[in-house]
Protein backbone atom coordinates (compact mmCIF):
# COMPACT_ATOMS: atom_id res chain seq x y z
CA UNK A 1 0.00 0.00 0.00
CA UNK A 2 1.31 3.39 -0.95
CA UNK A 3 1.82 5.92 1.77
CA UNK A 4 -0.38 8.96 1.68
CA UNK A 5 1.71 11.83 0.35
CA UNK A 6 2.30 14.52 2.96
CA UNK A 7 0.89 17.94 2.25
CA UNK A 8 3.47 20.53 1.30
CA UNK A 9 3.97 23.31 3.84
CA UNK A 10 2.24 26.54 2.93
CA UNK A 11 4.41 29.05 1.12
CA UNK A 12 5.45 32.11 3.11
CA UNK A 13 3.55 34.24 0.62
CA UNK A 14 -0.02 34.87 1.70
CA UNK A 15 -1.44 34.42 -1.78
CA UNK A 16 -0.01 33.83 -5.24
CA UNK A 17 -1.99 36.72 -6.73
CA UNK A 18 0.74 38.33 -8.79
CA UNK A 19 0.43 41.49 -10.87
CA UNK A 20 0.73 41.88 -14.59
CA UNK A 21 4.35 43.01 -14.32
CA UNK A 22 5.39 41.96 -10.82
CA UNK A 23 5.63 38.94 -8.53
CA UNK A 24 4.44 39.10 -4.94
CA UNK A 25 6.97 38.11 -2.27
CA UNK A 26 6.88 37.67 1.48
CA UNK A 27 4.73 39.76 3.80
CA UNK A 28 6.74 42.46 5.58
CA UNK A 29 3.96 44.33 7.39
CA UNK A 30 0.33 44.17 8.50
CA UNK A 31 -2.17 46.72 9.70
CA UNK A 32 -5.94 46.94 9.88
CA UNK A 33 -7.38 45.30 6.79
CA UNK A 34 -4.23 45.63 4.67
CA UNK A 35 -0.88 43.91 4.34
CA UNK A 36 2.44 44.94 2.84
CA UNK A 37 4.50 42.57 0.72
CA UNK A 38 7.74 42.76 -1.16
CA UNK A 39 7.37 42.52 -4.93
CA UNK A 40 9.82 41.98 -7.76
CA UNK A 41 9.27 43.31 -11.26
CA UNK A 42 9.14 40.70 -14.03
CA UNK A 43 12.18 41.18 -16.21
CA UNK A 44 10.47 39.78 -19.30
CA UNK A 45 7.70 42.37 -19.20
CA UNK A 46 8.75 45.77 -20.51
CA UNK A 47 5.31 47.34 -20.88
CA UNK A 48 5.54 48.89 -17.40
CA UNK A 49 9.18 49.88 -17.40
CA UNK A 50 8.46 52.66 -14.89
CA UNK A 51 8.45 50.08 -12.11
CA UNK A 52 11.64 49.59 -10.06
CA UNK A 53 13.19 46.12 -9.62
CA UNK A 54 11.83 45.87 -6.04
CA UNK A 55 8.71 47.48 -4.59
CA UNK A 56 6.52 47.38 -1.51
CA UNK A 57 2.95 46.40 -2.36
CA UNK A 58 0.23 47.40 0.10
CA UNK A 59 -2.89 45.32 -0.51
CA UNK A 60 -6.30 44.35 0.77
CA UNK A 61 -9.36 42.42 -0.34
CA UNK A 62 -11.33 44.61 -2.74
CA UNK A 63 -14.38 44.89 -0.47
CA UNK A 64 -12.16 46.10 2.39
CA UNK A 65 -9.98 48.42 0.34
CA UNK A 66 -11.81 51.76 0.72
CA UNK A 67 -9.10 53.20 2.97
CA UNK A 68 -6.37 51.92 0.66
CA UNK A 69 -8.07 53.49 -2.36
CA UNK A 70 -8.34 56.79 -0.47
CA UNK A 71 -4.61 56.56 0.29
CA UNK A 72 -4.00 56.12 -3.43
CA UNK A 73 -5.87 59.37 -4.12
CA UNK A 74 -3.87 61.24 -1.49
CA UNK A 75 -0.55 60.00 -2.89
CA UNK A 76 -1.64 60.98 -6.39
CA UNK A 77 -2.28 64.54 -5.14
CA UNK A 78 1.11 64.60 -3.41
CA UNK A 79 3.08 63.14 -6.33
CA UNK A 80 6.40 64.79 -7.10
CA UNK A 81 7.72 65.55 -3.61
CA UNK A 82 11.10 63.84 -2.98
CA UNK A 83 10.40 63.71 0.76
CA UNK A 84 7.27 61.58 0.39
CA UNK A 85 7.17 57.88 -0.49
CA UNK A 86 6.60 57.47 -4.23
CA UNK A 87 3.56 55.61 -5.54
CA UNK A 88 3.91 53.77 -8.87
CA UNK A 89 0.18 53.23 -9.31
CA UNK A 90 -2.33 50.58 -8.37
CA UNK A 91 -3.60 47.29 -9.75
CA UNK A 92 -6.39 44.81 -9.05
CA UNK A 93 -5.28 41.17 -8.88
CA UNK A 94 -7.01 37.82 -8.42
CA UNK A 95 -5.96 35.01 -6.10
CA UNK A 96 -7.46 32.47 -3.70
CA UNK A 97 -10.86 33.15 -5.35
CA UNK A 98 -10.74 36.80 -4.24
CA UNK A 99 -10.06 40.17 -5.88
CA UNK A 100 -7.40 42.37 -4.27
CA UNK A 101 -6.57 46.06 -4.56
CA UNK A 102 -2.79 46.68 -4.66
CA UNK A 103 -0.92 49.92 -4.08
CA UNK A 104 2.56 49.86 -5.65
CA UNK A 105 4.97 51.83 -3.47
CA UNK A 106 8.62 52.76 -3.16
CA UNK A 107 10.43 50.25 -0.95
CA UNK A 108 12.33 51.47 2.09
CA UNK A 109 15.07 48.87 1.92
CA UNK A 110 16.84 50.21 5.01
CA UNK A 111 13.66 49.90 7.08
CA UNK A 112 11.75 52.50 9.06
CA UNK A 113 13.12 55.30 11.19
CA UNK A 114 11.74 53.41 14.22
CA UNK A 115 13.89 50.40 13.34
CA UNK A 116 16.90 52.64 12.75
CA UNK A 117 16.44 54.24 16.18
CA UNK A 118 16.09 50.84 17.81
CA UNK A 119 19.35 49.67 16.22
CA UNK A 120 21.12 52.74 17.64
CA UNK A 121 20.27 51.69 21.24
CA UNK A 122 20.67 55.17 22.75
CA UNK A 123 19.62 57.61 20.04
CA UNK A 124 21.02 58.99 16.80
CA UNK A 125 23.87 61.48 16.31
CA UNK A 126 22.71 65.11 16.36
CA UNK A 127 23.87 65.74 12.79
CA UNK A 128 21.76 62.82 11.60
CA UNK A 129 18.74 64.00 13.58
CA UNK A 130 19.01 67.42 11.96
CA UNK A 131 19.17 65.99 8.42
CA UNK A 132 16.21 63.70 8.95
CA UNK A 133 14.18 66.43 10.66
CA UNK A 134 14.78 68.83 7.78
CA UNK A 135 13.59 66.23 5.24
CA UNK A 136 10.46 65.46 7.26
CA UNK A 137 9.72 69.18 7.59
CA UNK A 138 10.09 69.70 3.84
CA UNK A 139 7.66 66.85 3.31
CA UNK A 140 5.20 68.37 5.79
CA UNK A 141 5.44 71.79 4.13
CA UNK A 142 4.36 70.14 0.87
CA UNK A 143 1.63 68.03 2.50
CA UNK A 144 0.13 71.03 4.31
CA UNK A 145 0.41 73.29 1.26
CA UNK A 146 -1.67 70.75 -0.68
CA UNK A 147 -4.38 70.93 1.96
CA UNK A 148 -3.72 67.64 3.77
CA UNK A 149 -2.94 66.55 7.32
CA UNK A 150 -0.95 63.32 7.69
CA UNK A 151 -2.43 62.51 11.14
CA UNK A 152 0.09 59.77 12.01
CA UNK A 153 3.61 61.18 11.93
CA UNK A 154 5.88 58.88 13.94
CA UNK A 155 9.18 57.02 13.41
CA UNK A 156 7.40 53.87 12.24
CA UNK A 157 5.85 55.83 9.35
CA UNK A 158 9.12 57.35 8.15
CA UNK A 159 11.10 55.09 5.80
CA UNK A 160 14.81 55.13 5.03
CA UNK A 161 15.96 54.64 1.46
CA UNK A 162 19.50 54.56 0.07
CA UNK A 163 20.72 57.79 -1.44
CA UNK A 164 22.86 58.00 -4.56
CA UNK A 165 25.87 58.12 -2.21
CA UNK A 166 24.83 54.72 -0.84
CA UNK A 167 24.79 53.27 -4.34
CA UNK A 168 28.22 54.78 -5.01
CA UNK A 169 29.72 53.21 -1.88
CA UNK A 170 27.99 49.87 -2.42
CA UNK A 171 29.47 49.60 -5.88
CA UNK A 172 32.90 49.78 -4.20
CA UNK A 173 31.96 47.30 -1.48
CA UNK A 174 32.40 49.80 1.31
CA UNK A 175 30.30 49.78 4.42
CA UNK A 176 27.60 52.47 4.07
CA UNK A 177 27.19 55.08 6.76
CA UNK A 178 24.16 56.98 8.04
CA UNK A 179 24.68 59.87 5.60
CA UNK A 180 23.98 57.40 2.79
CA UNK A 181 20.30 57.27 3.76
CA UNK A 182 17.45 59.69 3.13
CA UNK A 183 14.09 59.64 4.88
CA UNK A 184 10.62 59.87 3.37
CA UNK A 185 7.18 60.21 4.91
CA UNK A 186 5.07 57.11 4.31
CA UNK A 187 1.74 55.52 5.29
CA UNK A 188 -1.00 57.99 4.36
CA UNK A 189 -3.78 55.62 5.37
CA UNK A 190 -5.06 58.04 8.01
CA UNK A 191 -4.41 61.26 6.11
CA UNK A 192 -7.30 63.67 5.68
CA UNK A 193 -8.15 66.95 4.04
CA UNK A 194 -7.63 69.98 6.24
CA UNK A 195 -10.87 71.26 7.81
CA UNK A 196 -12.51 67.92 7.07
CA UNK A 197 -15.37 67.04 9.40
CA UNK A 198 -13.99 65.21 12.41
CA UNK A 199 -14.65 61.53 12.99
CA UNK A 200 -17.03 60.22 15.63
CA UNK A 201 -14.12 59.14 17.82
CA UNK A 202 -12.53 62.57 17.32
CA UNK A 203 -9.00 61.57 16.33
CA UNK A 204 -6.81 59.42 14.12
CA UNK A 205 -3.30 58.17 14.72
CA UNK A 206 -1.17 56.79 17.55
CA UNK A 207 -1.92 57.96 21.13
CA UNK A 208 1.69 58.69 22.19
CA UNK A 209 2.07 61.17 19.31
CA UNK A 210 -1.27 62.98 19.63
CA UNK A 211 -1.44 66.65 20.57
CA UNK A 212 -3.73 67.97 23.34
CA UNK A 213 -6.21 69.65 20.98
CA UNK A 214 -6.68 66.41 19.06
CA UNK A 215 -7.60 64.39 22.14
CA UNK A 216 -9.46 67.15 23.96
CA UNK A 217 -11.39 68.79 21.12
CA UNK A 218 -11.12 66.38 18.19
CA UNK A 219 -9.37 69.11 16.16
CA UNK A 220 -6.72 67.47 13.98
CA UNK A 221 -5.15 69.95 11.61
CA UNK A 222 -1.62 70.81 10.46
CA UNK A 223 -0.43 71.83 13.98
CA UNK A 224 -1.10 68.26 15.14
CA UNK A 225 1.48 66.98 12.66
CA UNK A 226 4.00 69.45 14.12
CA UNK A 227 3.41 68.16 17.66
CA UNK A 228 3.97 64.60 16.39
CA UNK A 229 7.12 65.75 14.61
CA UNK A 230 8.43 67.11 17.93
CA UNK A 231 7.78 63.72 19.54
CA UNK A 232 9.66 62.06 16.67
CA UNK A 233 12.67 64.39 16.98
CA UNK A 234 12.90 63.81 20.74
CA UNK A 235 12.74 60.05 20.14
CA UNK A 236 15.57 60.25 17.62
CA UNK A 237 17.71 62.01 20.23
CA UNK A 238 17.06 59.70 23.20
CA UNK A 239 16.08 56.43 21.52
CA UNK A 240 12.89 56.39 23.62
CA UNK A 241 9.34 57.76 23.13
CA UNK A 242 9.04 61.41 24.16
CA UNK A 243 5.94 60.69 26.20
CA UNK A 244 6.72 58.38 29.09
CA UNK A 245 4.13 55.68 29.55
CA UNK A 246 4.22 52.54 31.65
CA UNK A 247 4.06 49.25 29.78
CA UNK A 248 0.49 47.99 29.71
CA UNK A 249 -1.02 51.39 30.51
CA UNK A 250 -4.64 51.81 29.51
CA UNK A 251 -5.03 53.85 26.31
CA UNK A 252 -7.86 55.92 27.77
CA UNK A 253 -5.64 56.80 30.72
CA UNK A 254 -2.88 57.97 28.35
CA UNK A 255 -5.36 60.04 26.34
CA UNK A 256 -6.69 61.65 29.52
CA UNK A 257 -3.16 62.61 30.58
CA UNK A 258 -2.50 64.18 27.16
CA UNK A 259 -5.78 66.13 27.01
CA UNK A 260 -5.43 67.40 30.58
CA UNK A 261 -1.78 68.36 30.18
CA UNK A 262 -0.70 66.13 33.09
CA UNK A 263 1.64 64.22 30.79
CA UNK A 264 3.61 66.13 28.16
CA UNK A 265 6.51 65.09 25.90
CA UNK A 266 9.91 65.53 27.51
CA UNK A 267 12.49 67.80 25.91
CA UNK A 268 15.79 65.86 26.14
CA UNK A 269 18.23 67.54 28.52
CA UNK A 270 21.17 66.48 26.35
CA UNK A 271 20.02 68.63 23.42
CA UNK A 272 21.75 71.98 22.76
CA UNK A 273 19.76 75.12 23.57
CA UNK A 274 18.77 75.55 19.90
CA UNK A 275 17.41 72.02 19.84
CA UNK A 276 15.44 72.52 23.05
CA UNK A 277 13.96 75.74 21.65
CA UNK A 278 13.02 73.90 18.43
CA UNK A 279 11.08 71.29 20.41
CA UNK A 280 9.45 73.93 22.58
CA UNK A 281 8.07 75.50 19.38
CA UNK A 282 6.65 72.08 18.43
CA UNK A 283 5.11 71.54 21.87
CA UNK A 284 3.25 74.86 22.25
CA UNK A 285 -0.04 73.83 23.86
CA UNK A 286 -2.07 76.41 21.96
CA UNK A 287 -2.25 74.97 18.43
CA UNK A 288 -2.80 78.43 16.92
CA UNK A 289 0.54 79.61 18.33
CA UNK A 290 2.49 76.46 17.47
CA UNK A 291 5.11 76.99 14.78
CA UNK A 292 4.34 75.79 11.27
CA UNK A 293 6.55 73.44 9.24
CA UNK A 294 7.66 76.37 7.09
CA UNK A 295 8.64 78.41 10.14
CA UNK A 296 10.55 75.50 11.67
CA UNK A 297 12.61 75.08 8.50
CA UNK A 298 14.12 78.48 9.28
CA UNK A 299 14.82 77.64 12.94
CA UNK A 300 18.56 77.80 13.82
CA UNK A 301 18.52 74.13 14.89
CA UNK A 302 17.72 73.15 11.27
CA UNK A 303 18.89 76.09 9.19
CA UNK A 304 22.45 76.16 10.57
CA UNK A 305 25.52 74.02 9.95
CA UNK A 306 24.92 73.86 6.19
CA UNK A 307 22.35 71.08 6.51
Q: Is 160 inside any structural domain?
A: yes
Residues 89 and 117 placed together within one structural domain of the fold: no
CATH code of the domain covering residue 144: 1.10.510.10
Q: Is 142 inside any structural domain?
A: yes
**β-sheet bridge partners, residue 113:** none
Residues 67 and 97 placed together within one structural domain of the fold: yes
* Residue in 90, 152, 187, 225 annotated catalytic: 152
pLDDT, residue 247, reads 55
Q: Is 232 inside any structural domain?
A: yes
pLDDT, residue 47, reads 54
Q: Is 6 inside any structural domain?
A: no
CATH code of the domain covering residue 30: 3.30.200.20
Closest CA to 207 of 260, 247, 245: 245
Q: Is 165 inside any structural domain?
A: yes
Phi and psi dihedrals of 28, rounded to 5? Answer: -120, 0
Residues 129 and 93 placed together within one structural domain of the fold: no
Q: Does the annotation count 152 as an active-site position?
A: yes
Residues 163 and 255 placed together within one structural domain of the fold: yes
Residues 75 and 134 placed together within one structural domain of the fold: no
Residues 27 and 66 placed together within one structural domain of the fold: yes
221-243 residue pLDDT tens: 999 999 999 999 999 999 999 88
Q: Is 237 inside any structural domain?
A: yes
Residues 148 and 193 placed together within one structural domain of the fold: yes
Q: In whole angstroms, give the CA distance from residue 241 to residue 243.
A: 5
pLDDT, residue 44, reads 60
Residues 68 and 154 placed together within one structural domain of the fold: no
Q: Is 243 inside any structural domain?
A: yes
Give me the torsion for CA of 284, 288, 289, 293, rounded to 10°. Answer: 80
- Residue 46 domain boundaries: 22-105
- On whether 58 is known to bind a ligand per the annotation, the reply is yes
Cβ 81 vs Cβ 74: under 8 Å: no
Encode the chain (307 residues) as per-residue pLDDT tens digits. Answer: 444 444 333 344 455 789 999 999 999 988 878 999 999 998 765 555 689 999 999 999 999 999 999 999 999 999 999 999 999 999 999 988 899 999 999 999 999 999 999 999 889 999 999 999 999 999 999 999 999 999 999 999 999 998 764 444 444 444 445 557 899 999 999 999 998 665 555 678 898 999 999 988 889 999 999 999 999 999 999 999 988 766 556 777 778 777 776 678 889 999 999 999 999 999 999 999 999 999 999 999 998 655 6
Cβ 140 vs Cβ 225: under 8 Å: yes
Residue that terminates a domain, selected from 52, 87, 105: 105
Residue that terminates a domain, selected from 49, 77, 105: 105
Residues 92 and 119 placed together within one structural domain of the fold: no
From residue 63, give the alpha-carbon distance in Å to each of 59, 68, 292: 12, 11, 38
pLDDT, residue 95, reads 87
Residues 132 and 255 placed together within one structural domain of the fold: yes
Residue that terminates a domain, selected from 105, 126, 146: 105
Residues 63 and 88 placed together within one structural domain of the fold: yes
Q: Is 210 inside any structural domain?
A: yes
Residues 173 and 288 placed together within one structural domain of the fold: yes
**Total of domains in the chain:** 2
Amino acid sequence: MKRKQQEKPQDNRDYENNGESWLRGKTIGRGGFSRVSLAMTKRVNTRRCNLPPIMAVKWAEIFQSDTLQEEREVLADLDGCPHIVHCFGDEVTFGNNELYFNLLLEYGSVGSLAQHIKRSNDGLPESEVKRYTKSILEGLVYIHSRGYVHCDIKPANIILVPSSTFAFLSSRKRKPRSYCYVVKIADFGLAKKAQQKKLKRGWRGTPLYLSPEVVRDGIQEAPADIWALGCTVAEMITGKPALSCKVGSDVNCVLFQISSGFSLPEVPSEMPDEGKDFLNMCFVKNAELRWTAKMLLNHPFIAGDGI
